[in-house]
Amino acid sequence: MRSFKNAVAVITGAGSGMGRTLAMQLAEEGADLALCDINLESVLETKDMLAETGVKIRADQLDVTSKDAVFAYAEEVERDFGRVNLVFNNAGAALNAPFDKMSIEDFEWQMNVNFWGVAYGTKAFLPILERAEWGHIVNTSSLFGLIAAPGNSAYNASKFAVRGMTEALQLDLEEKGSSVKATSVHPGGVKTSIVKLARTSQNNTFMNGKSHAEAIEKFDKIAITTAERAAEIILTGVRKNKKRVLVGKDAVIVDKIQRLFPQSYQWLVRKYLS
Ligand SMILES: NC(=O)c1ccc[n+]([C@@H]2O[C@H](COP(=O)([O-])OP(=O)(O)OC[C@H]3O[C@@H](n4cnc5c(N)ncnc54)[C@H](O)[C@@H]3O)[C@@H](O)[C@H]2O)c1
């Protein structure tokens, strides 16, 4: 099992939720951290929370949808820390809207954050990871990268794409005998700000006609895993070099149901989410 002591870890979306708890647990284990988020205030807050750990931390504002900014950031982090071992392409956002009520601009925004952000991070850091003694790319997909859900066509598209890219990358890395590993992470419901910060359809309706407030309330009820527990599960999976990490009992159970009933699982999903 891999130890993270003295590793250098990059985490996108480190100002909240699982990005923040990954930072906390990696710092406890003695990893140096390059933390970034589109929201500078929140990532500085994460850095402040870790002030007493004694590990080296830098915190930057970074919008993962900006290709040039992500590549410049990767160069800067390597210059600053000398190497990178772990990259958590964790930053993400939700868009909840029925397909016909969603603007094409919102669809593009969703793909830019959740898919292109992960693709840029992977492409920018891969050569840097290959220069290090060991390297690992951890890309956050979702349970919704394994099953579809109503009102989630853009989110589903982005997360299925992250899974597809990461699984193909695993094959490419093995083929070339690379020292770098890759993991695709699939959280079920995790108690974070994801639904609070979500975009919705043009008439401001979430799935099944719910208001944003109702959707937040529903999510709080069904999100059964804490962000702390999610980070533990993710780090255990990475330590064991797992190709796929399912986060939470809901993810484990629903993944099985989807495989047994690849069409009729949709009925269950609709019932559970309504
Ligand atoms: N919470 C869940 O139930 C759940 C389930 C499955 C997958 N996920 C995924 O987990 C990841 C982490 O989300 P979370 O649940 O911790 O949510 P969160 O909203 O608490 O954290 C997401 C972070 O990403 C940042 N971010 C958003 N857009 C960004 C951008 N363009 N550039 C840089 N940073 C950006 C946000 O500012 C925020 O700090 C996301 O990819 C999300 O899609 C979450």
**CB contact at 8 A, 136 and 182:** yes
Tokens linked to 58: 């830098």
| Integer-rounded Cα radius of gyration of the chain | 18
Q: For residue 271, what pLDDT is reported?
A: 85
Q: Decide whether any atom of ligand 1 lies within 6 Å of the 110 Cβ.
A: no
Structural domains for the chain:
8-273 (3.40.50.720)
Q: For residue 214, what pLDDT is reported?
A: 87
Q: 78 C-alpha vs ligand 1 centroid, how far in Å?
A: 24
Q: 90 C-alpha vs ligand 1 centroid, how far in Å?
A: 6
Distance (Å, whole) CA 209 – CA 226: 27
Q: Decide whether any atom of ligand 1 lies within 6 Å of the 18 Cβ.
A: yes
Tokens linked to 148: 């579809």
Q: For residue 140, what pLDDT is reported?
A: 98
List residues with catalytic annotation. Answer: 155
Atom of ligand 1 nearest to the CA of 191: 1
Which residues of the chain have a pLDDT value below 50?
A: none
Distance (Å, whole) CA 90 – CA 117: 9
Q: Decide whether any atom of ligand 1 lies within 6 Å of the 193 Cβ.
A: yes
What pLDDT, in 10s, does the model give residues 187-228? Answer: 999 999 999 888 876 666 676 677 888 888 889 999 999 999
What pLDDT, in 10s, does the model give residues 38-63? Answer: 999 999 999 999 999 999 999 999 99
Q: 15 C-alpha vs ligand 1 centroid, how far in Å?
A: 9
CB atoms within 10 A of CB 92: 27
Tokens linked to 222: 């069904």
Three-state secondary structure call for residue 148: coil
Q: Which of 152, 143, 145, 148 is nearest to 230 (CA)?
A: 143
Q: For residue 251, what pLDDT is reported?
A: 97
